[in-house]
Structure 1
Amino acid sequence: MTVPYHHHVIGNTSEGLLLLGRTDVDDNMKLLNPITGQMISNLPPASTLGLHKDFRLCDIDLRGAGVADDSTVVLHFKSFSLALAKPGDERWTQLYSSSKRILSTLQFAGRVYCATETDVSVVQTVENQRPQLVVAAAYQLDQSPRGNARRMHFSDRSRMFLVDHNGELIACHHDCCDPCIHGSCYLYRVDLDAGYTVPLLERLNNGHALFISTTRSVLAGSGVSPVIRPDTVYLCAGTNIAFDRLGTCAERKFKKTDAANYLTCYVSS
């Protein structure tokens, strides 16, 4: 499906959703799934997002988007804040977390989940009440693949991504300055029933690999390219660093025409 006439893409998500705005007027925004053709229209204008007063549409740094409870659109911005609205609302409702940064969001099982510095939270919407973030799973002290107990450490360069892995919610944590010296990538199963995360020590099913950057993540089948190694996390930031299940890492170079390079460019855009 093509972008409607007089509209342009304000931002996109790793799941392929497009946030659209008008090029001729400050009209209500739309959220489009170009694969299914589903579009949520009549959302409040961008001028009510609560950003700085002199902002332009091109200044909006969209990090994620999803739909909670079938009708509430949730937008995640670089400023670690959320904006929520239903079709027909006059303005967007801002949702901030004063005690923890919102690092990423994912629509999963009909709800919108957020990875923060302390837990995985879910956006809760109740009629006639202000939306809020509710803890869905706490981060636990875990055992690393090398046998050392560790706690998640979050700095200004920390990244935490949520991924839908065949109907299972997975979190990927990366925190380092020099990827192969000071840090690594760790995967966790988010146990929503028990309310905590569990280290994912077994292989990713069906030979998947995870591509991440500073802003987004994509889970891809290793079969899309012969150079993609299954059960591997690729950190795409200038050079491509591949982390295997044991936490060891090595630099990987992809040909420009290879599908792996296209995936790298997509998550880095």
Structure 2
Amino acid sequence: MAALDIPSLIRSGAVCTSWHDAYSTFRALRCRSPKQAPCLLYACDEYGPNHAALYCPSTNTTFRVPFRHHGRGRFLSSNGWVFATDEVADPYLLNPVTGDQAMLPPVKTIPCIEISLDDNGNPYEEYKPSEEDIEWARDNAYWRVAISAAGDDAAATCTVLVVHLPRHMLSFAKPGDERWTLLSRDLWLDDVHYNDSNGLFYGLRFDGSVYVFDLARRDFTGRDKDHAWGNNT
């Protein structure tokens, strides 16, 4: 099983009972397939708006996977998950291989996103955003994403770190949370990454400096005492 590409590995568990037991044991041991080129997920006219194509370069095979996409949007990926948005620009996680999904807090709860207020400063709940607002949020609100690994139940227990507009601010949330928590408003990060070997998030700033974030050990119920919730290395 370690020699299989990821889609073939997932399908092997459906062959019969004994293969499913072997597959479950393989996953439980957290074994990994050899280093492979990443799969390419893309939309195509042939599959329509409710499906996408998943190309596996290790086998030169294209798979048809359920994935409803709305216009262009900005689709990001991390740790095998796709960070996507629905028809009203609310983000969610999708595993294109297994079909698992997990909803994230809505876009209206991301700190400082302009779609949260109308022209009169009224809360989002009191006014319906225009299609232009929604399209802007889908195309521009999300810049980069990092997703922590959490085993087979990643969709329920992972932490999602997002670089978003304005000013490339940094917020995080878990699937099922009611709202996003602001981590930093003025770091101007260009990229973020999760290292599953030590459980830390890393942020790359535009000036080349690197910040380290230990979200597992932080108490986020208090005030932002360290200004950036991290260490500049």
Normalised-by-shorter TM-score class: 0.3 to 0.5
Q: Which has the higher strand share?
A: 1
Q: Return the TM-score normalized by structure 2.
A: 0.45
Q: Which has the higher helix share?
A: 2
